Amino acid sequence: MTTQTRKNLLYSLILVLLVLGVYLFRSLINQEPTLRESRTAEGLVVLEGDFLGDSFLVLYPPLSSSLSSSIDSIFTHHAQQVLLASPRTELSQLNAQDSLINPSSEFVALLRSALNQAQKAEMAWDPSSKDLYGVWSFSSTKATLQDSTDLPGMLSRMAMKGLVVTDTLIYKTDPRLKLDLSDFGKTIALDQVAQYLDLKGVGHYFIQLGRHTKAKGLNEKKELWKLTFIHPDSTEKKQEGLIALDHMSVATSGLYTDYYLQDSLKKPKLLDPRTAYPVTHGLLSASIFAKSSKEAGILSEMLWVEGWYKAMQLDSARSDVSMILIFNKKGEKVSLYASPELRKYLSFPIY
């Protein structure tokens, strides 16, 4: 038996176990399958459904057998790891108490990966910081902190670095720390669906899940897959353009129309998880192109926090990452920046 044959058998066994796990999971939380399969006029297989509050779309050429049940199982399996709505998931149990004894090896791996990514992002990405938005409000001209809010106290309990993970015990140094790994789980699920399609010999596909997109090969017109991109023109009027995706993943953080104007600077309604205060720059949207959805997702969140200047520095330093930034400087119009190597894939001008 060849190494590749053993690999395929192992992956098939894992998928069978996933299907069984999905059935049990849905029985426990009373969740019905949401995936729908159809065909386009050009014959493409279309899989649509919902995953952790976002819709997903998978497109690929027809094969001799359907892949929908396996893809559905991959999505649902990852929902088990990060779903907050069900008290039966390990993440919900951890959020409700100060520790988790004898966690599953997969959950341990998930948390270690998230901790590693947070540290690599210098904590500019921190999935324990969601509650900060409950004490801030944004108007059209300012950000306001609720009276008597203890921000230092919130930071001390919210930093993900306060999570201790071992093979047999997950412990929170502050029991009030709560994690939201839904977006992180989406990137992992999307990358695994792509890996599964690769394993099945699917050379052309387009996958979209919320703010994340991944594409490989060509569409039904024998062209690169296209991603619709909303952007401002030179007069700041909203326009719709296209980006051709050449075997890449992309994630977008921020909506350039969602800002507040303060001291002649358009600022995103965004908090820095390291300080608990609003960011002070004018980066309104960051779209990052990378090899994996996980990397694109983390970098887009990190750079959106750190600002357009830091983003451009990273763009100059790394050849494996590209980006589109929508930002403004004090007293100026909104600007559009794209990595030089990316511009040939855009249907709209950069100014």
Cα 193 from Cα 57, distance rounded (Å): 11
Check whether residue 242 and residue 295 sit in a common domain. yes
Check whether residue 66 and residue 187 sit in a common domain. yes
Q: Could you give the percent of the chain with pLDDT greater than 90? A: 76
Check whether residue 69 and residue 186 sit in a common domain. yes
Long-range contacts of 264-271 (CB under 8 A, 24+ apart): 264/330, 264/331, 265/328, 265/329, 265/330, 265/331, 266/328, 266/334, 267/143, 268/304, 269/138, 269/143, 270/304, 270/305, 271/129, 271/132, 271/133, 271/136
CB neighbourhood size of 142 (10 A)? 13
End of a domain among 111, 142, 177? 177
| Confidence check: pLDDT of 263 > 80 | yes
| Confidence check: pLDDT of 13 > 80 | no
Helix (H), strand (E) counts: the chain: 8, 18
The answer to whether position 351 is within a domain reads no
H-run or E-run covering 106: helix 105-120
Check whether residue 256 and residue 189 sit in a common domain. no
The answer to whether position 296 is within a domain reads yes
- How many domains is the chain partitioned into structurally? 3
End of a domain among 222, 250, 283? 222
Check whether residue 235 and residue 213 sit in a common domain. no
| Confidence check: pLDDT of 17 > 60 | no
| Confidence check: pLDDT of 33 > 50 | no
What is the crossing angle of helices 182-199 and 105-120, to 10°? 110
Both tokens of 6, joined, read 């053993």
Check whether residue 172 and residue 208 sit in a common domain. no
Calculate mean pLDDT across residues 18-25. 48
Q: Is residue 74 within 8 Å of 192, Cβ to Cβ?
A: yes
The answer to whether position 350 is within a domain reads no
| Confidence check: pLDDT of 327 > 60 | yes
Check whether residue 33 and residue 145 sit in a common domain. no
pLDDT level of residue 86 (50, 70, 90 thresholds): confident
For 139-181, write each residue's pLDDT tens digit.
999 999 999 899 888 888 777 888 999 999 999 999 989 999 9
| Confidence check: pLDDT of 219 > 60 | yes
Q: Is 86 in a helix, a strand, or coil? A: coil
Tell me the average pLDDT of the chain.
90
The answer to whether position 149 is within a domain reads yes
pLDDT level of residue 279 (50, 70, 90 thresholds): very high
SS3 sequence of 138-178: ECCCCEEECCCCCHHHHHHHHCHHHEEECCCEEEECCCCCC
Q: Could you give the percent of the chain with pLDDT greater than 70? A: 90
The answer to whether position 341 is within a domain reads yes
End of a domain among 157, 192, 222? 222
Check whether residue 197 and residue 233 sit in a common domain. no
Q: What is the pLDDT of residue 184?
A: 96
Radius of gyration of the chain (CA): 21
pLDDT level of residue 27 (50, 70, 90 thresholds): very low
Rounded to two decimals, what is the model's pTM? 0.88
The answer to whether position 332 is within a domain reads yes
Check whether residue 56 and residue 108 sit in a common domain. no
The answer to whether position 152 is within a domain reads yes
What CATH number does residue 278 fall under? Answer: 3.10.520.10
Torsion of CA 84, 86, 91, 95, to 10 degrees: 80
The answer to whether position 185 is within a domain reads yes
What CATH number does residue 101 fall under? Answer: 1.10.3980
Q: Are strands 225-232 and 136-138 parallel, antiparallel or unpaired?
A: unpaired
Check whether residue 121 and residue 186 sit in a common domain. no
Best CA proximity match to 60, nearest among 191, 187, 201? 201
Q: What is the pLDDT of residue 64?
A: 78
Check whether residue 199 and residue 242 sit in a common domain. no
| Confidence check: pLDDT of 16 > 60 | no
Check whether residue 125 and residue 204 sit in a common domain. no
Torsion of CA 171, 176, 182, 184, to 10 degrees: -50
Best CA proximity match to 129, nearest among 285, 301, 250, 308? 301
Residue 287 exposed, middle or buried by CB count within 10 Å (0-12, 13-18, 19+): buried
Range of the domain at 60: 1-84+180-222
